[in-house]
């Protein structure tokens, strides 16, 4: 079974600085996708970014980028120029041959003014 690990229960970052949220996975699927979602205190789940296992380049979406290291089985989220509104819970998720999402336990990010 696939396993997603987020080892940072909580992170702090100063406003306008960059922050990296860690995510590692374990799989034997030849083809898979990795996703990051944001869950603000209001509770909704917001899709941020996707990386396919065969994508040649790291994914980017505005201030979000995904540092994908396939050999290390890691898919870290990098948020540049942090804003107060980035304070939220962030979840890494994996999708393989079963086309289901397996979520990590999440990282609570707090942006300090």
Question: Would you count residue 101 as binding other proteins (CB under 8 A)?
Answer: yes
Give the interface size with other proteins as a residue count (CB under 8 A). 22
- How would you class 12 by CB atoms within 10 Å of its CB: exposed for 0-12, middle for 13-18, buried for 19 or more? exposed
Question: Would you count residue 105 as binding other proteins (CB under 8 A)?
Answer: yes
Sole binder of other proteins in the list 25, 36, 68, 91 (CB under 8 A) = 91
CA 51 to CA 85: how far, in whole Å?
A: 24
CB of 12 to other proteins, least distance (A): 18
| Site track 25-64 with other proteins (rule: CB under 8 A), x = hit | ------xxx-x-------xxx-x--x-xx-----------
Q: Is 86 helix (H, G, I), strand (E, B) or coil?
A: helix
CB of 2 to other proteins, least distance (A): 11
Q: Which residues, 6 or more positions from 3, have their beta carbon under 8 angstroms from its beta carbon?
A: 25, 26, 102
| Token couple for 60 | 């980017």
Q: State the DSSP code for 41.
A: T
Residues near other proteins (CB under 8 A) are 31-33, 35, 43-45, 47, 50, 52-53, 91, 95-96, 99-106
């Amino acid at each position: 079974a696939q396993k997603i690990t987020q080892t940072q229960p909580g992170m702090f970052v100063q406003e306008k600085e960059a922050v990296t949220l860690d995510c590692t996975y374990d799989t034997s699927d030849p083809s898979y996708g990795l996703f990051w979602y944001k869950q603000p205190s209001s509770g909704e789940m917001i899709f941020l970014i996707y990386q396919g296992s065969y994508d040649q380049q790291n994914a980017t979406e505005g201030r979000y980028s995904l540092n994908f290291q396939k050999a290390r089985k890691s898919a870290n989220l990098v948020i540049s120029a942090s804003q107060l509104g980035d304070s939220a819970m962030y979840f890494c998720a994996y999708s393989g041959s079963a086309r289901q999402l397996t979520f990590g336990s999440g990282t609570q990010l707090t942006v300090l003014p």
